[in-house]
Structure 1
Amino acid sequence: MKSRLSEALKIGSMTVKNGIFMAPMSLGYESPDGTVNETMQEYWLARARGGVGCIITDALSVDPDVPYLGNTLCFRNEESIASYRRFTDKIHECGARVIPQITHPGPESVSAFRGIPPMASSVYLNSMAQKTRAVTLEEIPGIIQKYAKGAYDAKRAGFDGIELHCAHAYMLLGSFLSPMRNKRTDRYGGSLDNRARLLCEVLDAIRDSCGPDFPIILRMSGSERDEQGNTLEDMKYLVPILERHGVDAFEISGGTQYERCNKIIPCHGEVQGVNVPEAEALKQVATVPVLVVGKIGEPRYAEYLVDSGKVDGVVLGRALIADPDFVKKMEAGDYDGIAPCAACAIGCVGEQTKRHPASCVINPAAGREKELELTKTERPKRVVIVGGGIGGMACARACAVCGHEVVLLERENELGGQMRLACIPPHKQELSKWIVYLEHELERLSVDVRRNTAADRDVIDSLSPEALVIATGAGEMLPPVQGIDPEQAITAWKVLRGETAIPGGNVLVVGGGMVGCEVCEYLMHQKRGSCHITMIEMADEIGAGMVVNNKVPAMIRLNRPEITMMTGTKLVSVNGGEVTVERHGTQEVLSGFTHIIYACGARPVRGLYEELKEAYPEAVLIGDALQPAQALEAVRQAVETAVRIG
């Protein structure tokens, strides 16, 4: 039976072919001139071709002189509007609608880096710890007109409507709406009606400039999830008012950008559909469609939300980064063929924090649609891949999609490699989606998978590969410290594999990176008695390199009396249950440990490559066998290798 999610949805005067919207996500693809460049266009066109009903573009600033966090979409002049018209025409040719998320970045503008204090409802520290300045009453009419002009320019540029951002106590309208930010004592502050005054005036101005038939979707937090913030009851009160001011649909998000970032981009430890309860409650008071966003990555769940009447449509973000054809596959019932988002945020958020363009673990072609397109080869080759971890599996899939004859050798009975361990700590089971998906793909593509096969020179020679890929992974490292017995040492991997059971005791974890943190959580979850953990880390930070949306909730969970975290602490020697450490230049002895666990990184396993590189000079190393890193690098190298093989 066809889901209602696949049926047309009417929002104001706009009819969307289905109830699936693509969320606005700033991914670092933007151009300095504020127009849609080829990278962004190909990225969005791939999702439009993939069946999305409506694409909501990244934040578009209504003031070209007030950019968001870096390069920002904007309408600078008539030439840029004509450029946008060419873009919207291409999206329409694919059968999709497209609207921009218009906003005044306000407090979140990078204008401070130009010596201009960012404007906000009041004076406070913004997300970059920069001091804002309060907007004056005299400035407000000009700001309202900028919103009206931005919306009218969007209409002229061929957009089907707009989304107006007022969520997360964030950017200018969100700053005014939230009591967490708005400390004004004039008619724009104090009561909820006053805090919503600027939003209502902006809506009125947009209606005056664009007319009654230009759809407006409003993105707002159903609850700011903070005792100081707007509540669900506040939003229920506002919905009828906002409808009277011209809102044609609501997109319900949640949380705040500063205090609750893990609620805005919910990752590990957050339930799917994190904003559904608020959206469902607001639908009861709304007379226009209500959409919901926030960790909706499962196609059957997305259909359930609409079919059960909880909401009228869903807004997908990372799920569409992971698979641009999500909608087509869902509507065809090919649920298992959808490349899944595992809520890791490593590529989409983590790369952004490094000032890199966003990527995706399971889909490295995101933002590189043309460069990493997998096309059928005219000359199929026999490709042998050694190692069935996520890198080897991804390479086998990519090569098979290109039409090559692929043999995948794995020494163990199960595929997945270290990713199987990564699924074990609390809140990490979602990562198993990648293994399940890739195994399904290898079967669908008839890849010759040989398990329990230890590859050596004879095995490789017998297969006569025309291309050889070595993805043999990495092994755990022990620190070069006196007193450690390599045969008896307990490593993080042994604990996670269940080889060493630790039901309690006084435990030392050496290494406070992501793996060390996960081992601590695992031990707390598994304990069957009293357990105290001391975690030592040489660096000055615990969990360095973790994506903030996962790190924030992880640090909250680790902040408990049973766990002591020590930074700037280097292991010097081990003597039974006693260790000597150097802490901030001073040595001290820690004793009484019943178990010592080492979470000290990994080193590449390259023995086979070193043996074969002379005989097979075209052999390629990928993943941890090349350099231990995250799955993001392994899968990217895998797909790049498949493209080079041709």
Structure 2
Amino acid sequence: MTTFDKLLTPLTVGSTVLPNRMVMGAMHTRLETLDRPHERLAAFYAARAAGEIGLILSGGFSPNPEGVMEEGGPLFNSPSQLEEHRVVTRAVHAAGGKIVLQILHAGRYAKVPYCVAPSPGKARINTYSPHALTTDEVRETIADFANTASLAVDAGYDGVEIMGSEGYLLNEFTAAVTNHRDDQYGGTFEGRIRFPLEVVREVRERLGNQSMLIYRISSIDLIDGGMTGAEIAAFAKEIEAAGADLINTGVGWHESAVPTIAASVPRAAWRAAIGNVKQAVSIPVMASNRINMPEIAEELIASGVADLVSMARPLLADPDFAKKTRLGTVDEINTCIGCNQACLDRIFTERSATCLVNPRAGREIEFPTGEAPTPKRIAVVGGGPAGMAFAISAAERGHRITLFEAESRLGGQLNMAKVVPGKAEFHEMLRYFRVRLERLGVTLRMGEAATSDQLIGGQFDEIVLATGVMPRVPDFPGVDHPKAVSYIDVLTGRVVTGQRVAIIGAGGIGFDVAEFLLGEPNESLESRAFFEAWGVDPDNTTPGGLARAAAHAAPRRTVHMFQRKAEPLGRRLGKSTGWILKAKLRKAGVMMISGATYHSIDDDGLHYTVDSARHVLPVDHVVLCAGQDSNRSLYDELIARRIEPRLIGGADVASELDALRAIDQATRLAVTI
């Protein structure tokens, strides 16, 4: 059994003693856009403080209007805002925690028409072109940072973090590719780092020595024309000399073509870049990015890579991460699977963040706590994500749960997801479900397809059906031909496809099948394989830490993907991860065909029409990924017998396999019964 001596050792940062080495990293939540925003933020952060996290870094607040992430984004520049922040800091301190305010100026990433930057030049990910700051405006911005830092301490924060990573304003000054200035804030390396150093000095002067000052440095830029590792190390030394108490490490710019935090990135892949910073300074250094379990966090500290670990999304997934680590119940940690579906994908599409595996995240005030007033005997049919999530949440409230699962193992279609390259973290999700069901005493009836007679015999007060979905079979000749197979056949290994494959349907399942057929599993598990595939210089000797990607090996199969809609394939994939999958499939030579009409499947292959031209594609197999239908046969039986069960998950809505919706719906139902 792993012990966590390093993680659980207190650490002094400046004049503040942190109880352990685990930190909740800053993240955009957009909770401020919902009703009762300050109450929501207070409950959100207080839950993590009660979960014993050593330090909380707030979401980023801009020091002036030009630096907000978007119109109406978080801004903290006036004493009139103090009381709304005190609602948060009081809640965190009452729960036994410490919280630091992150000061973030978005620079040319700010989605406002009056955004600013060191030099002209629109960011690839923004529609607005920035105004280049004058020398006087740079100095005014330094004063704005110091003003916000002072307000933060007045509001009860234990310090501030200055965001100098991820391609935001301070990072834009340090990189030659975005800083073309000819005044004292540009030109040479010393000139490019002058602005962030003056920010740190001014903030230190304003704070004194009683509050923490953290600087988030870009440990590797991952863009052409970024800093080298040697420059980053030299910059880190200057940050320490300017008065920082701790250096946090970021990875990559938001416009980088290299993934940095998705599940396709190996755990702790950026350790060398972080270690480069650690070796340069004597103050504590914090590691970040793709650290989602205590074992990897402990190893990073024990090996000298870092002194603390920052985990943002893992604290969405489980607010009690640190407490469970201390208690030695790490098998009960609800692990972040790096899917980004409910956090980053929602943020990037102007919605507030939550978590696929923990729908309570950011919604704490919507979920009642405590036991149900009248415990009930509840039958749950189906051991997929919806059924398991309901069973856990209902059992936590004191209900007595019996879960029927027709298969010999729990998980439902999660068992297919976990075999897709880049989705190995689904194993952790299944582990959490299994352990919690066992610890809560849920009765499992495995390998048993529940019947209506069993359910209406009087032994259950409620019946919840999570019977999932069935693959939809498209209506054209030849779908019963031996060449035609279901995605279930492929992902479960019942069918091993030939060398030439057509995939009908380009939703999430179709893309998963393509990656299953062509992807390299080690790429998301081993840092070296990942760096070679994506063109990263692990030694960070080049500007931006980029290298030539390894030549792509000849694909194992020839794959064509088809969809009926006349639009680019993959348009509905996740905003933060879809581009990764599409890039990998393009490298593998996948042909993507939209606007297709299917005629038949026969010995010659797939017959189809595109743009009025008829074609025959000779293939060994055609994988049908044409959607799903709800499995409601048991529901219909019960309704016929005048019993009305509750439907959740795919049994309720089967439009696209959606664990996010299924788990959220199941959890909300569980707290209302």
Show CA shifts across 1:462-521 (max 9, x none): 35321110100001112222332277621111111111112x422211122222222122
Hey, what does 1:15 align to over in structure 2?
17
- How far residue 3 of structure 1 moved from its aligned partner, in angstroms, is 1.1
Per the normalisation by structure 2, the TM-score is: 0.90
- Preserved CA contact (<8 Å) 2:102 2:160: yes
Hey, what does 1:516 align to over in structure 2?
510
- Mapped partners of 1:530, 1:37: distance in 2: 53
Structure 2, unpaired ranges of 5+: 521-552
Hey, what does 1:567 align to over in structure 2?
594
CA 1:377/1:415 → structure 2, altered by over 3 Å: closer, same or farther? same
Does 1:595 pair with 2:621? yes
Hey, what does 1:533 align to over in structure 2?
559
Hey, what does 1:77 align to over in structure 2?
78
- Preserved CA contact (<8 Å) 1:168 1:221: yes
Between 538-547 and 315-324, the greater mean CA deviation after superposition: 538-547
Hey, what does 1:638 align to over in structure 2?
666
Does 1:62 pair with 2:63? yes
Letter in 1 for 2:627: G
- Preserved CA contact (<8 Å) 1:365 1:373: no
Hey, what does 1:477 align to over in structure 2?
472
Letter in 1 for 2:470: G
- Preserved CA contact (<8 Å) 1:261 1:549: no
Alignment partner of 1:27: what SS?
A: coil
CA 1:121/1:64 → structure 2, altered by over 3 Å: closer, same or farther? closer
CA 1:12/1:25 → structure 2, altered by over 3 Å: closer, same or farther? same
Does 1:248 pair with 2:242? no
Show CA shifts across 1:111-141 (max 9, x none): 22xxx3x111122223223222211223112
Hey, what does 1:580 align to over in structure 2?
607
- Preserved CA contact (<8 Å) 1:59 1:72: no
- Preserved CA contact (<8 Å) 1:578 1:589: no
Q: Which has the higher contact order (CA 8 A, sep 6+)?
A: 2
- Mapped partners of 1:43, 1:289: distance in 2: 27
Between 231-240 and 103-112, the greater mean CA deviation after superposition: 103-112
- Mapped partners of 1:111, 1:131: distance in 2: 9
- Mapped partners of 1:234, 1:19: distance in 2: 27
Q: How does 1:89-168 map to 2 (within 5 A)?
A: 89-112=90-113, 116=114, 118-126=115-123, 127-168=125-166
Hey, what does 1:380 align to over in structure 2?
375
- Mapped partners of 2:647, 2:455: distance in 1: 15
Show CA shifts across 1:294-315 (max 9, x none): 0111112212222332211011
- Mapped partners of 2:81, 2:587: distance in 1: 54
Hey, what does 1:363 align to over in structure 2?
358
Show CA shifts across 1:36-86 (max 9, x none): 611111110100111011111000111146422354333353332133234
Q: How does 1:394-543 map to 2 (within 5 A)?
A: 394-462=389-457, 464-485=459-480, 489-502=484-497, 504-525=498-519, 531-539=557-565, 540-543=567-570
- Preserved CA contact (<8 Å) 1:262 1:549: no
Letter in 2 for 1:522: F
- Preserved CA contact (<8 Å) 2:275 2:306: yes
Show CA shifts across 1:368-397 (max 9, x none): 113224421231101001111111011111
- Preserved CA contact (<8 Å) 1:66 1:110: no
Alignment partner of 1:407: what SS?
A: strand
- Preserved CA contact (<8 Å) 1:30 1:71: no
Hey, what does 1:169 align to over in structure 2?
167
Alignment partner of 1:219: what SS?
A: strand
- Preserved CA contact (<8 Å) 1:467 1:618: no
Does 1:554 pair with 2:581? yes
Show CA shifts across 1:176-224 (max 9, x none): 1222322323332232211111111111221222224432111121111
- How far residue 624 of structure 1 moved from its aligned partner, in angstroms, is 0.5
Alignment partner of 1:6: what SS?
A: coil
Letter in 2 for 1:519: V
Hey, what does 1:225 align to over in structure 2?
222
Letter in 2 for 1:20: M
- How far residue 575 of structure 1 moved from its aligned partner, in angstroms, is 3.5
Alignment partner of 1:285: what SS?
A: coil
- Preserved CA contact (<8 Å) 1:175 1:182: yes
CA 1:240/1:528 → structure 2, altered by over 3 Å: closer, same or farther? closer
Letter in 1 for 2:469: A
Letter in 2 for 1:635: I
Structure 1, unpaired ranges of 5+: none
Hey, what does 1:313 align to over in structure 2?
308
Does 1:238 pair with 2:238? no
- Preserved CA contact (<8 Å) 1:148 1:205: yes
Show CA shifts across 1:275-321 (max 9, x none): 22211221111110000110111112212222332211011111110
Between 128-137 and 330-339, the greater mean CA deviation after superposition: 128-137
- Preserved CA contact (<8 Å) 1:473 1:604: yes
- How far residue 568 of structure 1 moved from its aligned partner, in angstroms, is 3.1
Letter in 1 for 2:38: N
Hey, what does 2:44 align to over in structure 1?
43
- Mapped partners of 2:67, 2:590: distance in 1: 45
CA 1:374/1:545 → structure 2, altered by over 3 Å: closer, same or farther? farther
Hey, what does 2:649 align to over in structure 1?
623
CA 1:65/1:285 → structure 2, altered by over 3 Å: closer, same or farther? closer
- Preserved CA contact (<8 Å) 2:220 2:227: yes
Alignment partner of 2:275: what SS?
A: helix
- Preserved CA contact (<8 Å) 1:580 1:590: yes
Alignment partner of 1:111: what SS?
A: coil
- Mapped partners of 1:512, 1:620: distance in 2: 31
Alignment partner of 2:101: what SS?
A: strand
- Mapped partners of 1:358, 1:414: distance in 2: 31
Letter in 1 for 2:510: G
- Mapped partners of 1:460, 1:271: distance in 2: 45
Show CA shifts across 1:576-616 (max 9, x none): 33333332x32320332222111111111111112213546
**Aligned-residue CA RMSD in angstroms?**
2.2
